[in-house]
Structure 1
Amino acid sequence: MRTWRAPLVTALPGSGIGPRLYDTRSGRVSPVRPITPGIIRLYTCGITPYDATHMGHAMTYHAADLMHRVFLDAGWQVQAAQNITDVDDPLFERAERDQQDWRELASRQIDLFARDMQALRIIPPQTYDAVSEAMDRIIATAQDLHARGRLYCLPNDDVDGVDWYQDLGIDQAQSSVSGWSREQMLEVYAERGGDPDRPGKRDPLDPLVWKAQRPGEPAWDAGVLGTGRPGWHIECVCIAHHGLGLPFDVQAGGRDLIFPHHDLSAAHAAALGRPLAHFYAHVGMVALDGTKMSKSLGNLEFVSRLVDQGTDPAAIRLVLLAHHYRTDWEWTAAALDKATERLARYRHAAQHHARSAAVVAALRDALRDDLDTPRALRLLDAWACGGESENLGLDVPVDPDVDDVPAAVDALLGIALH
């Protein structure tokens, strides 16, 4: 799948200092250390392309982009991968509802998502695979799980075929990321795509790996597994393995993916004999009118709609930057107005006092500290008001040769001030 055009970013000299991020699995803010020195491998779970890109999506990919930029600022080479879940129930249901071909719906939404990412100046991944494009590899991975004795089948009375599930009891890795109790997992599993009440399952939490063909749905021949399509979690494992290798360094995604998606993806990888990722970084939820933005509820604010109405994408990005990536927050028109005013102040300041090595050093320090973007914006607010670094209360090591504030804002925050 073709990605969007990469933004032109003014490169800063590598700082040589890596960031600290909150790792969901350990529950601590810890230094990120590449498995392979000098190379960091980042995987971000992609969209299901039937209604993109609302602010919840934007916050997730913006946070992953900040990670990408901070890794680059450390002087590391970044290998990034992302999937597109274009074979899944929500897409087929929306296509049927709107009487569209699922491929046409997916293609249109993928194009829209790419346009939004380009507008927001998100650095694209090098590996960008749709499930439909990666099907041969996904089938091979599912067959590998079968050969390892990790799968069992259940007959389906509605179709001529069987569904295949992973037996989690063999490897006992079902909550290795979340650390949740069994009761916590069962409480939300059904509403997050699982089928805990399926008769015959060895464990209600066992994930679907291969689903027998249903009428009107696309299907692929998987040999011993029959004709059908893959379950959700095996897709990301395969695409990440192909693009980055297992284990990779950082798994990024929305907090709603911790369970079941990341837990069960990690369980698939464990059954294949290796860890999925070393570090798990999760992004908070964005609400509208007091409720988490959700495609099913329809309470969405879209990047494309705002841009089409004339909103500067940099102002949208400043709204996102005003909130720490791990917090939950609510989108409001007032926040966008404030961001638009802030952008104008920053651009004015960039024309009059663009040089300050102390401000650049402080911005780097804020981003390295678990992507503390609210602190970064407070620094820039003070800079924009006066531009005198000694008035900013900074206490960080300063490199006098790195003093271009607009270049740092571009490189670290993705905001072009010129």
Structure 2
Amino acid sequence: MTIRLYNTMTRRKEELIPREAGKVSVYACGPTTYNYFHLGNARMLVVFDMIRRYLIHKGFDVTYVQNFTDVDDKIINRAAQEGIDPLVLASKYIDEYFVDAKALNILPADIHPKATEHIQDMIEIITKLEKKGLAYNVDGDVYYAVDKFPGYGKLSGRTLEDMQAGARVDIDDKKHNPMDFALWKKAKEGEPYWESPWGQGRPGWHIECSAMSLKYLGPGFDIHGGGGDLVFPHHENELAQSEGASDGQPFARYWMHNAFITVNQEKMSKSLGNFFLVRDVTEKFPGDVIRFYLLGTHYRSPLDFDDEKLVMASKGLDRLKNSIRLAKEAIGKAPIAVGLTTENGGEDVVEAAKIAQNAFEQAMDDDFNSAQAYAALFELSRAINTYVSKGQIEAQALQVSAQTLIALSGVLGFDLEAESEADQTDSGKLGPVMDLVMEIRANARKNKDWATADLIRDRIKEIGIIIEDTPEGARWYIK
């Protein structure tokens, strides 16, 4: 089955047909580095990491570029508040980005360009736009003339007339049109600046991504991604200036955007003050649990945040991890066999793995539907648990199904062979605690103290941990 994705430009799902057969080029807008990134940022980063991983899984040679905006009004303002150089502040939070990205198991991009390293590339694009009459200089500030570009608004679906009607017009505005946007900003005292044909200054935000994406991927690259809040004005402006500078040559073939994370149905953002930094959330929940939560809803659907949803994600991820733990334990106890047989239901659990693989890929081929992919994982997990509970298993059949569950989960960025969420919390090591509980219960059963043994089993069940007595001995798992 071919991959179909939702293209923001056309507002419909389309078959992914790369610019070059077998290769996919992706540019994902990275963070503005003036703070740690929050869960709203994390959703975009995790979603496009997932998309990248799946494309690789399908055999594509993927070139993935994710930038850092390391010069910007927000950086300059934050640096002024802290009394440090803006470029020093930006460098600090670039380093901190990789700490949080690693916690969420986000792969490093093939290329992580920084805006400050591509100033000359930006100047070259602005110069082209000025020569074509698409940009104008007003006392060292250079603006893009939106009414000179006929396609302005085609990505967001807005008309220039509607945008102008709703625009705020400043009394001292130097712009010819209220919708015109800055390509180059004249230097102000105390701000970082670079030399340019228009004097000392720094780039506007939108030109940065045009320069970096075109430099590393060239015009007509395959996928341009970002959060839904970037459709307008950021991506609309990127498109206008990039295609304007290249005589209308298409900028990107497909535009993909994830929906917001909300808090009480209101968009999570720093400007609203209702954001949660990943750095803070990882103090309460491991990174893989946060990732599991972020991918549990289709990327184009809004995702409302509260701690309880992270608790549920933790339990869901632990269910998958426990299936692998139980499978390994059963395989270790099973007799060695050569080849698959029809005994002990081995063919059923192998067939369940095949069904899960097919369902997983169907879901992901349909606009990277990770929520439906989860359903396939849980079905296979259930089949593995059912098979193990029979007591007598065929090791090779169970190994096939367990490895399928591990591999498919890995495509989404999860390591089911890592420690479970509960084993990583500060509240205690679940494994050793349960070993002690099981030992106490075993002693109670040995002494025929059935009431104590049953009490332990029932009370443990109330907190979501199941104890089962099997011919091979007692075992436990998280429900």
Please give the range of the TM-score, normalised by the shorter of the 2 chains.
0.7 to 0.9
1:89 aligns with 2:73: yes
- 155, 158, 172: which is aligned to 1:177? 155
CA separation of 1:37/1:312 partners in 2, compared to 1, >3 Å: closer, same or farther?
same
Q: Is the CA contact (8 Å cut-off) linking 2:384 and 2:401 kept in structure 1? A: no
Aligned to 1:205: 179
Aligned to 1:325: 299
1:37 aligns with 2:21: yes
Q: Is the CA contact (8 Å cut-off) linking 2:137 and 2:143 kept in structure 1? A: yes
Q: Is the CA contact (8 Å cut-off) linking 2:71 and 2:87 kept in structure 1? A: no
Q: Is the CA contact (8 Å cut-off) linking 2:289 and 2:317 kept in structure 1? A: yes
Query: Within 1, Cα distance between the matches of 2:160 and 2:12?
Result: 22
CA separation of 1:388/1:365 partners in 2, compared to 1, >3 Å: closer, same or farther?
farther
Higher helix share: 2
1:145 aligns with 2:142: no
Q: Is the CA contact (8 Å cut-off) linking 2:327 and 2:402 kept in structure 1? A: no
Aligned to 1:305: 280
Aligned to 1:9: none
Q: Is the CA contact (8 Å cut-off) linking 1:47 and 1:83 kept in structure 2? A: yes
Shift of 1:180: 1.3
- 52, 58, 61: which is aligned to 1:68? 52
Q: Which moved more, 1:213-222 or 1:92-101?
A: 92-101
Query: Within 2, Cα distance between the matches of 1:72 and 1:185?
Result: 40
After superposition, what is the alpha-carbon deviation per residue over 1:42-68, rounded to whole angstroms, capped at 9, x for unaligned?
000111111222111110011111211
After superposition, what is the alpha-carbon deviation per residue over 1:75-104, rounded to whole angstroms, capped at 9, x for unaligned?
110011111111111111111123232122
Query: Within 2, Cα distance between the matches of 1:370 and 1:90?
Result: 34
Shift of 1:381: 2.4
Shift of 1:165: 1.0
1:285 aligns with 2:260: yes
Aligned to 2:405: 405
Shift of 1:388: 8.2
Q: Is the CA contact (8 Å cut-off) linking 1:83 and 1:131 kept in structure 2? A: yes
Amino acid at match of 1:202: H
After superposition, what is the alpha-carbon deviation per residue over 1:209-242, rounded to whole angstroms, capped at 9, x for unaligned?
111111111111112x221011111110100011
Aligned to 1:113: 97
CA separation of 1:380/1:402 partners in 2, compared to 1, >3 Å: closer, same or farther?
closer
Q: Which moved more, 1:311-320 or 1:133-142?
A: 133-142
- 298, 312, 315: which is aligned to 1:341? 315
Query: Within 2, Cα distance between the matches of 1:406 and 1:285?
Result: 29
Shift of 1:244: 0.7
> What SS does the aligned partner of 1:243 have?
helix
Larger Rg: 2
Unpaired segments ≥5 residues, structure 1 = 1-16, 156-161, 391-399
Q: Is the CA contact (8 Å cut-off) linking 1:48 and 1:86 kept in structure 2? A: yes
Shift of 1:389: 11
Query: Within 1, Cα distance between the matches of 2:326 and 2:289?
Result: 21
- 27, 34, 39: which is aligned to 1:50? 34
Shift of 1:118: 1.4
Unpaired segments ≥5 residues, structure 2 = 329-349, 388-399, 418-479
Aligned to 1:13: none
CA separation of 1:36/1:291 partners in 2, compared to 1, >3 Å: closer, same or farther?
same
Query: Within 2, Cα distance between the matches of 1:146 and 1:34?
Result: 32
Q: Which moved more, 1:178-187 or 1:72-81?
A: 178-187
Query: Within 2, Cα distance between the matches of 1:405 and 1:417?
Result: 8
Shift of 1:337: 0.4
1:381 aligns with 2:365: no
Bigger RCO (CA 8 Å, 6+ sep):
1
Shift of 1:122: 1.4
Query: Within 2, Cα distance between the matches of 1:408 and 1:289?
Result: 33
Shift of 1:385: 2.6
Shift of 1:267: 0.3
Aligned to 2:240: 267
> What SS does the aligned partner of 2:147 have?
coil
Q: Is the CA contact (8 Å cut-off) linking 1:219 and 1:229 kept in structure 2? A: yes
- 18, 24, 28: which is aligned to 2:12? 28
1:236 aligns with 2:235: no
CA separation of 1:164/1:73 partners in 2, compared to 1, >3 Å: closer, same or farther?
same
Query: Within 1, Cα distance between the matches of 2:378 and 2:87?
Result: 46
Aligned to 1:6: none
Q: Which moved more, 1:63-72 or 1:34-43?
A: 63-72
- 205, 214, 229: which is aligned to 1:256? 229
Aligned length: 380
Amino acid at match of 1:379: A
Query: Within 1, Cα distance between the matches of 2:171 and 2:401?
Result: 62
Q: CA RMSD in A?
A: 2.3
Amino acid at match of 1:38: G
> What SS does the aligned partner of 2:138 have?
strand
TM-score, normalised via structure 1 length: 0.85
Q: Is the CA contact (8 Å cut-off) linking 2:24 and 2:222 kept in structure 1? A: yes
Q: Is the CA contact (8 Å cut-off) linking 1:366 and 1:372 kept in structure 2? A: yes
Query: Within 2, Cα distance between the matches of 1:242 and 1:97?
Result: 34
Q: Is the CA contact (8 Å cut-off) linking 1:23 and 1:281 kept in structure 2? A: yes
Shift of 1:371: 1.4
After superposition, what is the alpha-carbon deviation per residue over 1:110-138, rounded to whole angstroms, capped at 9, x for unaligned?
11111111121112211211111111222
Amino acid at match of 1:28: R
Query: Within 2, Cα distance between the matches of 1:111 and 1:184?
Result: 41
> What SS does the aligned partner of 1:132 have?
helix
Aligned to 2:141: 163
Aligned to 2:415: 416
Query: Within 1, Cα distance between the matches of 2:154 and 2:172?
Result: 23
Q: Is the CA contact (8 Å cut-off) linking 1:168 and 1:206 kept in structure 2? A: yes
